[in-house]
Amino acid sequence: MAETEASATKRIAALRAEIEEHNRRYYEQAAPTISDREYDRLYRELVDLEGSFPQLVTPDSPSRRVGGEPLKAFAQIAHRVPMLSLDNTYSEEEVGAFYRRIEKLLPNEKISVVIEPKVDGVAVSLLYEEGRLRYAATRGDGTTGDDITQNIRTIHSVPKQLKGDAPRIFEVRGEVFMTKEGFAKLNSERSEAGLPVFANPRNSAAGSLKQLDPAITAQRPLGVIFYGTGGVEGMELTHHSKLFPLLRKLGLPCSERWWPAESLAEILRAIRELEKVRHDFVYETDGAVVKVDAFAQRESLGMTAKSPRWAMAFKYEAERVETKLLDILIQVGRTGVLTPVAALEPVVVSGSRVARATLHNEEEVARKDIRIGDTVVIEKAGEVIPAVVSVRTDLRDGSEKKFRMPKKCPVCGSKVVKDEGQVAVRCVNAQCPAQLKRRVEHFAARGAMDIEGLGEAMVEQLVEHKLVREVSDIYRLTSTQLGELERMGEKSVANLCAAIERSKQQPLWRLLFGLGILHVGVSAARALADHFPNLDALIEASPEELQRIPDVGEVVGASISQFFREPGNREMIEKLRAAGLRLTSDRKTAPASDSKIKGTTWVITGTLSKPRDEIAEEIVQHGGKVSGSVSKKASFVLAGEEAGSKLEKARELGLRVVDEAAFRRML
């Protein structure tokens, strides 16, 4: 049946939400939950639907964006030249279509291309001035990335000073990777220490670059391959093929193998040759990158909103093996979401032993008709996350059992619910032990209570040693208890104790956000803290009163009400009160009575010079309010770069839009 605009609108919205969540997990958490192949399928479906219904395309669609939001734990760096991602394919036919397309766009021109390995790592950009390393940044959202200079300096193959006659400005792009051998050793050490192992070398490289302590990064077996440039001053480059000898001359590591080609036949031959040797590299490669050689031709070809038209990535088919599905287990996440996981008869896939594979959700299990006892086909698409791709129904003998999502949480025994229109099944007990680790991490995060030093590894130890059984236990920790934990010297203990003590003075909105109430984000937390004089008034508020608050509404209001009805949550609040946390609203207004911001309501969108929560704090301190949604009640929209649908809606409503320079003048 042909797709209608109504059905396309609904499907596009669902695809965008799913892709955005996977982008967040991949780019910001380095913890993907689906394979590259599955992600690419979702992305292609979105692109095809938007192509059929161009009126439904919006600027903030994942098809118009490069990657994830920059992390909040690092300073931000704006790239001199945007870092775009590549279109990719698993089909040689689409490679042919790509080459014919550029031939059509450049008629009567000889088009040479370069084929090189696609390194499965983390994209980075380094800037050298007068030959000296000035800074390094992640890709981020394509225009702004995280400042990882100190971590990059710990990689031995990255020169602090370029060799020879370097350009005055040299912005070089590359991929940070973890060696295969180093990855295996690291996971072995983490397993022996009782720590969670990394899923693949790319995840471990991303996790290493995200460390706030460069000393930890220095212990990781990281390398880098450079393959391109951004802004360059003091030297003119005309062809990509000439970049490789230049990089070597400057002392920058680059691809040891690359192939020139001047026809489609030569391109496909190079791709096949690379597949034969790609496992010989010290790093993981999941494909080949095809790039137009001449920079002048690249300029003529231009780019789309997200990708250059002069390059594409070809991904190799993942290895598939068959094994027995022994059981379907349930994992419980921070917000109580129950996720089915396949327990497999161990099997080696793409060089590593696999005994678990994600099944995503109950509907996915039903769609693929996966049953306990089945012989299943396992794939590590992109050599990343093991996934069950299909079932050998022809091998069934009748002993297989259908899967049913439990009616109660398998960890705490509380009832589980499935909200209308949602796929996820959740445990309603916010104090469920399985949710504890993730909840404590969220509570301590920078955007919430900002307890530096209380990261994943520390939380893991605290929970395993039963020192923290709920969030409030953080404030009962003693220096003696902390000193007995692994890698906790006297200075580390003192720093963590000081951070915990400082967090007691955080404003009420940060506490509300840190509690992890379902659907309550930063904007809703601020609105609640602005509306109620203290936490007690919020707890006693009726669902109807909550729903009338801007940035709250019906769904969020019901969630808040349900949260505070739970006896365990009320008990936790009392413990936080006894610990000395601030439970009263402390909104401050600017002392100047002529502040142009006082009494106004702001919506923030796009990339700005500071994280949004910091700018929101400035607005509040000057007597303004911050809203997470665009409506006629908003006084101003502060729009940075890459502002999306909020900016479009603001213009439709005739709201006043200001840039950051105008905002600063108003302050």
**What are the structural domains of the chain?**
5-64 (1.10.287.610), 78-315 (3.30.470.30), 320-402 (2.40.50.140), 433-579 (1.10.150.20), 601-666 (3.40.50.10190)
CA distance 214 to 209: 8
Tokens of 578: 């006894």
Tokens of 303: 């780019």
The proportion of the chain whose per-residue pLDDT surpasses 90, expressed as a percent, equals 38
Q: What is the pLDDT of residue 403?
A: 94
Tokens of 231: 């802004």
pTM of the predicted structure, to 2 decimals: 0.48
CA distance 39 to 34: 7
CA distance 586 to 297: 59
CB 424 within 8 A of CB 337: yes
Helix (H, G, I), strand (E, B) or coil at 202: helix
Identify the CA nearest to 62 among candidates 82, 35, 43, 81.
43
CA distance 521 to 544: 19
CA distance 41 to 36: 9
Q: What is the pLDDT of residue 350?
A: 66
Q: What is the pLDDT of residue 27?
A: 53
CA distance 606 to 648: 12
Please report, as a single letter, which amino acid is at residue 179: T
CA distance 271 to 293: 16
Q: What is the pLDDT of residue 591?
A: 46
**CA 222: distance to chain centroid?**
21
> In the predicted model, is pLDDT for residue 261 greater than 90?
yes
Q: What is the pLDDT of residue 35?
A: 67
> In the predicted model, is pLDDT for residue 474 greater than 80?
yes
Give tens-digit pLDDT for 393-446.
999 999 999 999 999 999 889 989 987 767 778 888 867 877 888 889 889 987
> In the predicted model, is pLDDT for residue 590 greater than 50?
no
Q: What is the pLDDT of residue 615?
A: 81
Q: What is the pLDDT of residue 382?
A: 39
CA distances from 134 to 79, 169, 244 (A): 13, 10, 22
The proportion of the chain whose per-residue pLDDT surpasses 70, expressed as a percent, equals 87
Q: H or E element: which one contains 533?
A: none
Mean pLDDT of the chain: 84
CA distance 339 to 351: 26
CA distance 230 to 126: 9
CB 388 within 8 A of CB 357: yes
Sign of CA dihedral 657, 660, 663, 665: negative
Identify the CA nearest to 429 among candidates 566, 564, 575, 539.
566
CB 83 within 8 A of CB 125: yes
Q: Which residues contact 61 (CB under 8 A, 6 or more apart)?
A: 16, 46, 50
Pairing of strands 144-146, 636-639: unpaired
Please report, as a single letter, which amino acid is at residue 177: F
CA distance 333 to 341: 12
CA distance 33 to 44: 18
Which of 10, 104, 118, 418 is the catalytic position?
118
Burial track 44-62 (b if 16+ CB lie within 10 A, e otherwise): eebbebbeebeeeeeebbb
> In the predicted model, is pLDDT for residue 14 greater than 50?
yes
Per-residue pLDDT, averaged over 96-104, amounts to: 94
Classify residue 106 as exposed, middle or buried by CB count within 10 Å of its CB (0-12, 13-18, 19+): middle
Per-residue pLDDT, averaged over 73-88, amounts to: 85
Backbone phi and psi for residue 356, each to the nearest 5 degrees, phi listed first: -135, 150
Higher pLDDT, residue 589 or 522: 522
Q: H or E element: which one contains 154?
A: none
Burial track 299-323 (b if 16+ CB lie within 10 A, e otherwise): eebeeeebbbbbbbbbbbebeeeeb
> 617: how many CB neighbours lie within 10 A of its CB?
17
Mean pLDDT lowest for which of 16-30, 200-214, 511-525?
Answer: 16-30
Query: Can you list the positions of beta strands (E) in 334-374?
Result: 337-349, 352-358, 371-372
Tokens of 518: 């379902």
Identify the CA nearest to 627 among candidates 576, 532, 552.
552
CB 373 within 8 A of CB 384: no
**118 an active-site residue?**
yes
Per-residue pLDDT, averaged over 67-90, amounts to: 76
CA distance 486 to 495: 15
